């Protein structure tokens, strides 16, 4: 795509057409500037088929805010809307509405509260709440979901992979399998969730981290094609990068050629006063090859040289590899724990695509609208009970028990103070008769999750650096029960409604259902 | 991401770090300007688990070429490389190499041949062949794969969905579930593969197509929150968009509220001289609801009004819905064929993510390198035979039989003329002893698949418009056997090597394997 076209396609028109037709409709009805609140939340944790997430890691906010601060209707965008026609060939968008968009088609009147990036988050909980003039809050739906859904999905996947990789280095390698330049968002999200570095050079630059990587098979192939061999390739490479020498040993044959050649070059390096960094295995039975590699490196005196594994890894494959090494290493006289501690994981495709669950089901729902200076809660009654969103202005608290562990995310009405009640009634967000009672004495800490980010378009939040976001992720996961972090069939974390919010929701459902059964009775 | 950062992250540094370290290594070895050829191909059709593709639709070339024509090392990019350090704190990239990059760090010396967008393509076949100075051809690997893998993946998924949707309109709705702005690439690819329109406004503008969409649940919710009802919402909407009125009928209750209200508004519209366009169903049992909707619309005299289905659709769900309608419609007095013909499919998440297989395994392999004015074929011997790429300069032909159907994609050496042989030996690309023989008299047409696109950086190809690309897709699918297009367990299309190419590959494998067993014997 040419640069000018890219600016058009990634500017304010980076939204769905129906947001624009609805915005004009609201304009025509005179409600386009009516204050409205939309909540963004997801309904389900990612389910990868045979394994499932028990938590998500929130991500994407900074890039959304950056976009909101730039995006606005420019003349070229308005010209495009001017050119759109109805089925009968008339203009679809009228000049008065376009005039309004020219003056007001930006996000300067929008206020936004959000749960910060890097935090552990759960379904049904509003991650982002948007308040502002109806028309622009509506147009924001598609880009907001686009920016937040994907990064949260990938930060979550990265956290799962990091969880099983333990203290080992985790590298994000997926650029070539991402969705076009969306791969940059994937790399950032992976680093929020737990990847230590990415191979993607440009995004590393932007994020202020060194990118990782050494060489590909093609380097060795080149030498062979020129009539030389793998040994010469390794030797030459080690001379250019004596202190950063990671050799990919599977171009010809891992155990019979790559590894013996690498060891020979490592010995030469060491004689010259350099310490080799490691080898990379990119094909074959990685667990078996890692054991043999460790054995051969140990025997040659390179017991600390790292072993990077890559090739279709994900959390389950890494788990299997670690398990297999635990069982198999002793048979070859290799200490499994020492071997595990020297592994580095390079994860590409399965991380950047969230293989098994390539989309998060985040939605953006109208929850309240102002009429005559009073906020009216709004509800969409769904035929699937779980799809009925929670109405009105809400607040979200996280409750910690005496162990310091998070035990429930509680949704209530804005004015409530759950800390003041002696006994808390915690309603299941979907099931009617499921209710839990908690004594205030069991609660060690109550934390408000959302923070103000935009106040009428003005940034009122200090955007944290990536390192701070990552620390938050580590701290939050630390305060989560192990059962919730389990890779397969995790324990379900509680998300509850306060008594007041639950009552409001029931009343609205009753009222709306009443509407439904007597549609003819409505008076306008 | 801020705009300046975005330019950095999507410019020449939109590549993997190891491409840069290898480029400097080649520079140091004095081979950075040595002409080399890399082939891009994929190894496997997308496998969605319980169903599989039997062909792919090639896509992404235009955006790759646009990127190549802009991307080059700017001072800020070089400054970044200058700031990178080795593990011992020395500079990673030296000034002489950076000087070379400043002068030559662009794609102006690269020549590129490719199979055009929209064409049916198969595994192992070089879709793109890049020839040029080794260092820059190497740096191109990651962005080339990024741009081509994803669009080909999505064009393929769209073609499958269109194949089962038949003549019905297919709309791409997935922007909110794409990978950040990569959603634009997804929408374009979907339209190459078979989607008729997209809801994404910006990319529609760029591609020159009208975007599609009408309203969301929030419009109805707003009216309810304001004390009005669904009927009032529909009526007001129909007054603003009388000729484009598609009503979403599931906000309250599809059959008891949405549809009766929609019909009432449609009757009002018709009295005013406008023809309603349709309704959209977005939840519940879409097949059952479609039948009931058709029945109620028919009874009210709206037998041509369209019924758009959306909500987690993909090719298998659409197939199931169509099958269920065939069986169920007659029971309610609805003609199934007439109902099927009025359906419109809105496909979001499953199309833009290629659910079930979110990545195509396209790779970019060194196949030849020039030494002393002679091209030497290069080979990577893999322990998995199927992963050993085909060496050397190649040509790809598609052979058609007397029925006009494509029967084999044939890879041969550049100088070969398969049309001149009386009998063609077709070697299986991987299996050693599988060989087929074809009589020249069986072949009706031989077509060369790759076309020259860049000649030393100069565009020598007229970039076709999207409509032309789409026609090509339709024509190519028409010339493909039905069995190959089957959604589940498709018939395998033949990809073969000529006798000459096969012989060359065997010789190289033998030579390389010889190397392997005696690594000590190599003289430098």
Indicate if the pLDDT at residue A265 is higher than 60.
yes
Q: Is residue B77 part of a domain?
A: no
Q: Kindly write down the DSSP assignment for every residue of B356-405, as one continuous string.
A: T-----EEEEEEEEEETTEEEE-----SSGGGSPPPSSEEEEEEEETTS-
Q: What's the rounded Cα separation, in Å, for the pair B51 and B356?
A: 9
Of A241, A256, A366, the CB nearest to B222: A366
The verdict on B147 touching A (C-beta cutoff 8 Å) is yes
Of B13, B254, B522, the CB nearest to A205: B13
Q: Do A240 and B376 touch (CB under 8 A)?
A: no
Considering the domain architecture, whether residues B319 and B443 belong to the same structural domain is answered as no
Nearest to A69 by CA among A518, A474, A453, A476: A453
- Spatial contact of B361 and B151, defined as CB atoms under 8 Å apart: no
A196 interaction partners in chain B (CB closer than 8 Å): none
Question: CA neighbours within 13 Å on the CB side: how many for A21?
Answer: 30
Q: Kindly write down the DSSP assignment for every residue of A8-47, as one continuous string.
A: HHHTTT-SBHHHHHHHHHHHHHT-TTSEEEEEEEESS--B
Considering the domain architecture, whether residues B223 and B316 belong to the same structural domain is answered as yes
Question: CA neighbours within 13 Å on the CB side: how many for A148?
Answer: 30
Out of B352, B375, B395, a domain closes at B352
The verdict on B84 touching A (C-beta cutoff 8 Å) is yes
Considering the domain architecture, whether residues B180 and B62 belong to the same structural domain is answered as no
| Beta bridge mates, B4 | none
Indicate if the pLDDT at residue A382 is higher than 70.
no
Considering the domain architecture, whether residues B366 and B476 belong to the same structural domain is answered as yes
B176 interaction partners in chain A (CB closer than 8 Å): 16, 141-142, 145-146, 149, 362
pLDDT single digits (tens) A234-253: 999 999 999 999 999 999 89
Q: Is residue A428 part of a domain?
A: no
Residues A486-507, mean pLDDT to the nearest whole number: 94
B463 interaction partners in chain A (CB closer than 8 Å): none
The verdict on A212 touching B (C-beta cutoff 8 Å) is yes
Rounded to a whole number, what is the distance in Å from the CA of B219 to chain A's nearest CA? 7
Nearest to A110 by CA among A454, A459, A461, A462: A454
The DSSP letter of residue A1 is -
Residue B197 main-chain phi, psi, to 5 deg = -150, 170
Q: Is residue B152 part of a domain?
A: no
Q: Is residue B89 part of a domain?
A: no
The B residues from 229 to 248 touching A (CB cutoff 8 Å) are 229-232, 236-237, 240-241, 243-244
Nearest residue on chain B to A205, alpha-carbon basis: B80
- Spatial contact of A149 and A57, defined as CB atoms under 8 Å apart: no
Out of B309, B334, B352, a domain closes at B352
B48 interaction partners in chain A (CB closer than 8 Å): none
* Cβ atoms within 10 Å, residue B310: 20
B240 interaction partners in chain A (CB closer than 8 Å): 24-25, 28-29
Helices and strands in chain A: count of H runs, count of E runs:
19, 21
- Residue A521: what pLDDT? 32
Outline where B418-498 has alpha helix (H).
466-478, 482-485
> What pTM was computed for the model?
0.96
Residues A36-60, mean pLDDT to the nearest whole number: 97
pLDDT single digits (tens) A139-193: 999 999 999 999 999 999 999 999 999 889 999 999 999 999 999 999 999 999 9
Residues A478-486, mean pLDDT to the nearest whole number: 97
Nearest to A502 by CA among A428, A402, A424, A393: A428
Rounded to a whole number, what is the distance in Å from the CA of B374 to chain A's nearest CA? 11
- Spatial contact of B255 and A516, defined as CB atoms under 8 Å apart: no
The B residues from 12 to 31 touching A (CB cutoff 8 Å) are 13-22, 24-26, 28-29, 31
- Model confidence at A414, pLDDT cuts 50, 70, 90, reads confident
The DSSP letter of residue B256 is I
- Residue A523: what pLDDT? 33
Nearest to A342 by CA among A311, A303, A285, A286: A303
Nearest residue on chain A to B5, alpha-carbon basis: A206
Distances (CA, A) of B69 to A105, B105, B458: 33, 12, 9
pLDDT single digits (tens) A290-342: 999 999 999 999 999 999 999 999 999 999 999 999 999 999 999 999 999 99
Nearest residue on chain B to A238, alpha-carbon basis: B25
The verdict on B91 touching A (C-beta cutoff 8 Å) is no
Q: What's the rounded Cα separation, in Å, for the pair A40 and B37?
A: 49
List all residues 6 or more positions away from A266 whose beta carbon is below 8 Å from its beta carbon: A238, A245, A276, A300, A302, A305
Q: Is residue A175 part of a domain?
A: yes
Out of B352, B384, B400, a domain closes at B352
Considering the domain architecture, whether residues B271 and B341 belong to the same structural domain is answered as yes
Structural domain of A325: 155-352
Of B24, B150, B243, the CB nearest to A180: B150
The span from the first CA to the last CA of chain A, in angstroms, equals 49
Chain CA centroid to CA A378, Å: 28
| Beta bridge mates, A171 | A197, A346
Considering the domain architecture, whether residues B207 and B332 belong to the same structural domain is answered as yes
Nearest to B36 by CA among B368, B378, B365: B368
Considering the domain architecture, whether residues B347 and B404 belong to the same structural domain is answered as no
* Cβ atoms within 10 Å, residue A148: 26
The DSSP letter of residue A123 is T
The verdict on A100 touching B (C-beta cutoff 8 Å) is no
The verdict on A519 touching B (C-beta cutoff 8 Å) is yes
Helices and strands in chain B: count of H runs, count of E runs:
19, 21
Residue A70 main-chain phi, psi, to 5 deg = -100, -40
Q: Is residue B156 part of a domain?
A: no
B42 interaction partners in chain A (CB closer than 8 Å): none
User: Quick check: helix, strand or coil at residue B31?
Assistant: coil
The verdict on B381 touching A (C-beta cutoff 8 Å) is yes
Q: Is residue A44 part of a domain?
A: no
Q: Do A17 and B205 touch (CB under 8 A)?
A: no
Q: What's the rounded Cα separation, in Å, for the pair B351 and B329?
A: 27
Q: What's the rounded Cα separation, in Å, for the pair A516 and B438?
A: 68
User: Quick check: helix, strand or coil at residue A469?
Assistant: helix
Q: What's the rounded Cα separation, in Å, for the pair B399 and B447?
A: 7
Query: Beta strand pairing status for A278-281 and A246-248?
Result: parallel
Q: Is residue B372 part of a domain?
A: yes
Rounded to a whole number, what is the distance in Å from the CA of B335 to chain A's nearest CA? 27
Q: Do A232 and B177 touch (CB under 8 A)?
A: no
Provide, rounded to the nearest whole percent, the portion of chain A with pLDDT above 70: 96
pLDDT single digits (tens) A204-235: 999 999 999 989 999 998 998 888 999 999 99
Q: What's the rounded Cα separation, in Å, for the pair A380 and B253?
A: 10
Q: Kindly write down the DSSP assignment for every residue of B294-308, as one continuous string.
A: HHHHHHTT-TT-EEE
Q: What is the pLDDT along chain B (524 residues), one digit of tens a residue?
A: 998 999 999 999 999 999 999 999 999 999 999 999 999 999 999 999 999 999 999 999 999 999 999 999 999 999 999 999 999 999 999 999 999 999 999 999 999 999 999 999 999 999 999 999 999 999 999 999 999 999 999 999 999 999 999 889 999 999 999 999 999 999 999 999 999 999 999 999 999 999 999 899 999 989 988 889 999 999 999 999 999 999 999 998 999 999 999 999 999 999 999 999 999 999 999 999 999 999 999 999 999 999 999 999 999 999 999 999 999 999 999 999 999 999 999 999 999 999 999 999 999 999 999 988 888 888 776 656 667 778 888 999 999 999 999 999 999 998 899 989 889 999 998 887 888 899 999 999 999 999 999 999 999 999 999 999 999 999 999 999 999 999 999 999 999 999 999 999 888 888 766 654 443 333 32
- Residue A514: what pLDDT? 61
Residue to substitute from B80, B225, B255, interface A, most A β-carbons within 10 A: B225
* Cβ atoms within 10 Å, residue B481: 17
- Report the domain count for chain B: 2
Considering the domain architecture, whether residues B203 and B125 belong to the same structural domain is answered as no
Is this complex's ipTM strictly greater than 0.90? yes
Nearest residue on chain A to B387, alpha-carbon basis: A283
- Residue B382: what pLDDT? 65
- Residue B6: what pLDDT? 95
Residues A406-422, mean pLDDT to the nearest whole number: 92
Nearest to A472 by CA among A494, A444, A449, A495: A449
Nearest to B189 by CA among B64, B363, B352, B347: B352
Q: What's the rounded Cα separation, in Å, for the pair B46 and B348?
A: 18
Rounded to a whole number, what is the distance in Å from the CA of B264 to chain A's nearest CA? 10
- Spatial contact of A73 and A101, defined as CB atoms under 8 Å apart: yes
Q: What's the rounded Cα separation, in Å, for the pair A485 and B411?
A: 50
A346 interaction partners in chain B (CB closer than 8 Å): none
Q: What's the rounded Cα separation, in Å, for the pair A25 and A28?
A: 5
Considering the domain architecture, whether residues B166 and B59 belong to the same structural domain is answered as no
Considering the domain architecture, whether residues B407 and B505 belong to the same structural domain is answered as yes
Considering the domain architecture, whether residues B184 and B127 belong to the same structural domain is answered as no
List all residues 6 or more positions away from B246 whose beta carbon is below 8 Å from its beta carbon: B214, B215, B277, B278, B279, B280, B306, B308
The verdict on A87 touching B (C-beta cutoff 8 Å) is yes
List all residues 6 or more positions away from A153 whose beta carbon is below 8 Å from its beta carbon: A46, A56, A189, A354, A357, A358, A359, A360
- Residue B518: what pLDDT? 40
Q: What's the rounded Cα separation, in Å, for the pair A188 and A204?
A: 8
Label residue B151 exposed, middle or buried (CB < 10 Å: 0-12, 13-18, 19+).
buried
B22 interaction partners in chain A (CB closer than 8 Å): 215-216, 218-219
Nearest to A349 by CA among A311, A323, A297, A377: A311
Q: Do B213 and A21 touch (CB under 8 A)?
A: yes
The enclosing domain of B127 has a CATH number of: 3.20.140.10
Strands of B7-150, DSSP E: 35-42, 56-57, 111-114, 120-121, 128-133
Q: Do A229 and B21 touch (CB under 8 A)?
A: no
The DSSP letter of residue B22 is H
pLDDT single digits (tens) A169-181: 999 999 999 999 9
The verdict on A491 touching B (C-beta cutoff 8 Å) is no
- Model confidence at A431, pLDDT cuts 50, 70, 90, reads confident
A201 interaction partners in chain B (CB closer than 8 Å): 13-17, 19-20, 80
Considering the domain architecture, whether residues B340 and B373 belong to the same structural domain is answered as no
Nearest to B212 by CA among A137, A300, A434, A84: A84
| Beta bridge mates, A364 | A40
Label residue B90 exposed, middle or buried (CB < 10 Å: 0-12, 13-18, 19+).
exposed
- Spatial contact of A226 and B26, defined as CB atoms under 8 Å apart: no
The enclosing domain of A169 has a CATH number of: 3.20.20.70
């Amino acid at each position: 795509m040419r640069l000018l076209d890219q600016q058009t396609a990634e500017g304010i028109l980076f939204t769905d057409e129906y947001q624009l037709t609805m915005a004009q409709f609201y304009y025509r009805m005179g409600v386009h500037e009516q204050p409205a609140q939309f909540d963004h939340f997801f309904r389900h944790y990612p389910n990868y088929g045979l394994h499932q997430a028990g938590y998500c890691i929130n991500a994407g906010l900074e890039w959304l805010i950056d976009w909101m601060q730039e995006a606005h209707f420019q003349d070229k965008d308005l010209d495009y809307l001017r050119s759109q026609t109805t089925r009968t060939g008339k203009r679809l968008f009228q000049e008065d509405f376009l005039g309004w968009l020219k003056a007001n088609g930006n996000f300067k009147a929008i206020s936004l509260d959000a749960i910060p990036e890097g935090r552990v988050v759960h379904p049904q909980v509003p991650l982002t709440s948007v308040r502002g003039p109806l028309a622009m809050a509506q147009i924001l739906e598609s880009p907001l979901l686009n920016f937040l859904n994907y990064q949260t999905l990938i930060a979550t996947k990265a956290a799962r992979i990091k969880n099983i990789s333990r203290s080992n280095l985790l590298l994000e390698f997926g650029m070539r399998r991402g969705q076009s330049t969306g791969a940059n968002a994937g790399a950032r999200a992976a680093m929020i969730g737990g990847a230590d570095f990415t191979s993607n050079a440009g995004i590393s630059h932007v994020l202020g981290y060194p990118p990782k990587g050494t060489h590909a098979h093609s380097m060795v192939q080149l030498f062979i094609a020129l009539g030389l061999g793998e040994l010469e390739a390794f030797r030459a490479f080690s001379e250019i990068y004596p202190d950063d020498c990671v050799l990919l040993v599977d171009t010809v044959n891992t155990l019979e050629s790559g590894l013996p050649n690498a060891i020979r070059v490592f010995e030469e390096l060491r004689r010259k006063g350099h310490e080799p960094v490691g080898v990379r295995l990119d094909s074959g039975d990685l667990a078996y090859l890692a054991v043999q590699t460790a054995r051969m490196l140990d025997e040659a005196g390179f017991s600390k040289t790292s072993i990077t594994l890559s090739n279709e890894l994900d959390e389950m494959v890494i788990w299997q590899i670690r398990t297999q090494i635990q069982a198999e290493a002793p048979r070859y006289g290799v200490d499994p724990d020492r071997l595990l501690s020297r592994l580095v994981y390079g994860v590409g495709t399965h991380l950047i695509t969230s293989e098994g669950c390539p989309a998060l089901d985040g939605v953006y729902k109208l929850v309240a609208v102002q009429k005559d200076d009073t906020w009216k809660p709004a509800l969409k009654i769904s035929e699937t009970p779980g799809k009925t969103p929670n109405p009105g202005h809400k607040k979200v608290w996280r409750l910690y028990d005496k162990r310091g562990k998070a035990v429930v995310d509680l949704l209530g009405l804005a004015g409530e103070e759950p800390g003041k009640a002696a006994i808390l009634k915690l309603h299941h967000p979907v099931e009617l008769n499921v209710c839990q009672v908690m004594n205030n004495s069991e609660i060690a800490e109550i934390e408000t999750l959302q923070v103000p980010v935009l106040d009428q378009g003005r940034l009122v939040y200090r955007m944290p650096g990536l390192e701070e976001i990552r620390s938050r992720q580590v701290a939050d996961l630390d305060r989560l029960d192990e059962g919730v972090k389990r890779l397969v069939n995790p324990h379900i974390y509680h998300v509850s409604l306060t008594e007041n919010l639950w009552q409001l929701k029931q009343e609205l459902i009753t009222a709306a259902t009443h509407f439904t059964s007597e549609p003819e009775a409505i008076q306008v």
